[in-house]
Amino acid sequence: MGSGPFIAMELVEGESLGELLEREGGGSLPVEQVLELTNDLCVALDYAHKEGVVHRDVKLENVMLTSEGVLKLMDFGLAKALANPKGQTKMGVAMGTPGFMAPELVDRANTADERADIFSLGCILYVMVGGRIAFSGANVLEALKSTTEGRYTPLLELAPD
């Protein structure tokens, strides 16, 4: 066995939030479930932020629900330590997943702080309630432009209740 650095991670059995939404028919979830999942995700993000870490890739696939129903925030591969504002991110480099990334992550990922994760949380909440991604387009560039220009369908039009 090699002697280099390694990461040991917990094996999480369950499904991603995206898989849950697909299993539930691709639409919105019941309000009680949305509130519970949102609360649990807020707790996870609050913990990361208090530890000085901004995730920068909060999306449906990185939110896992264990077979016991416990929410886990996964994949900190794009995370940045808040104590190091410059981090390893180059200026002009996008970080994240279109449709869930905050506008500043499109071209100023090195400036991202907790607010970027909160924006992504809002995008997840939008999908859980509205049944579709808020910021989308025919291709990646259109989705990013939709995000930076703030173009989306108001949630009340998708879910008037």
Q: Is 117 a catalytic residue?
A: no
Catalytic residue selected from 40, 46, 57, 75: 57
Burial 148-158 (b: 16+ CB within 10 A, else e): eeeebeeeeeb
Structure-token pair, residue 57: 């890739």
DSSP structure class, residue 132: S
First to last CA, the chain: 57
Which long-range contacts link 74-78 to residues 24+ away (Cβ below 8 Å)? 74/12, 76/48
Active site residues: 57
